[in-house]
């Protein structure tokens, strides 16, 4: 029979029994949730009343499913509901969180873009004069890391950098380029 074949020689249960038990647990939790008896969270291998109860002293290894581990190591941290910021639409809370962060980052970038437009685009700094014949020193692949402010600027202000480049090459004005790039990124 299936039950007999699911045991190994040492008497332990094989994956068939484990999967059957997991499916039964899921079905029971769904039944209780539908009747309003209990609201359970999926910890990735078991169910609990809240994400904070998932680890049961086992740390990050028992915090999966609808929960995520927030901490510096596997044992020191906290099991919290996963936010799904990158995937809006799964739950109303994740959509709200995504929209809040999107609008907040847009406002911060708008303020920065206004200053950047005023100081750099409208009043560009003077460029040094270069002779007709000049020898440009060869740069290495990781030369950019000598200038961390430029690395951070290009990484976190991509719509502004793109808008400046669109403006400098007469592709489009600064503000439409900035807004278009922000909405598409």
What are the tens digits of pLDDT across the range 111-144?
888 888 888 888 766 655 555 556 667 777 777 7
pLDDT at 6: 44
The kind and range of the H/E element at 86 are: none
CA dist., res. 46 & res. 63, Å (int): 10
Beta bridge partners of 7: 13
Residues 6+ away with beta carbon under 8 Å from 25: 46, 47
- What is the rounded distance in angstroms from the CA atom of residue 33 to the CA atom of residue 122? 60
Return the percentage of the chain with pLDDT > 90, whole number: 2
Provide the pLDDT for residue 54.
92
pTM over 0.85: no
- How confident is the model at residue 140, as a pLDDT? 77
- Can you tell me the distance from the alpha carbon of 174 to that of 168, in angstroms, rounded to the nearest whole number? 9
Indicate the burial class of 163 (C-beta count within 10 angstroms; 0-12, 13-18, 19 or more): buried
Within 10 A of 3 (CB to CB), how many other CB atoms are there?
10
Distance CA 132, CA 71 (A): 57
pLDDT at 8 over 60: no
Q: Give pLDDT tens digits for 37-70.
A: 457 888 988 889 889 899 988 888 888 888 888 8
- Phi, psi values for residue 98, rounded to 5°: -60, -45
87 pLDDT more than 50: no
Identify the burial level of 63 via C-beta atoms within 10 angstroms of its C-beta, where 0-12 means exposed, 13-18 middle and 19 or more buried: buried
């Amino acid at each position: 029979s299936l039950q007999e074949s699911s045991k190994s020689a040492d008497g332990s249960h094989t994956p068939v029994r484990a999967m059957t038990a997991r499916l039964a647990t899921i079905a029971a939790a769904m039944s209780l949730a539908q009747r309003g008896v209990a609201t359970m969270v999926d910890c990735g291998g078991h169910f609990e009343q809240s994400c904070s109860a998932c680890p049961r002293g086992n740390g990050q290894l028992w915090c999966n499913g609808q929960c995520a581990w927030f901490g510096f190591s596997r044992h020191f941290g906290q099991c919290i509901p996963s936010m799904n910021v990158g995937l809006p639409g799964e739950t109303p809370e994740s959509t709200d969180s995504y929209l809040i962060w999107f609008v907040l980052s847009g406002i911060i970038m708008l303020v920065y873009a206004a200053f950047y437009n005023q100081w750099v685009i409208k009043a560009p700094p003077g460029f040094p004069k270069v002779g007709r014949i000049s020898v440009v020193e060869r740069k290495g692949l990781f030369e950019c890391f000598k200038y961390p402010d430029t690395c951070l600027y290009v990484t976190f202000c991509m719509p502004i950098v793109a808008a400046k480049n669109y403006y400098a090459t007469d592709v489009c004005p600064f503000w439409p380029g900035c807004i278009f790039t922000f909405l598409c990124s």
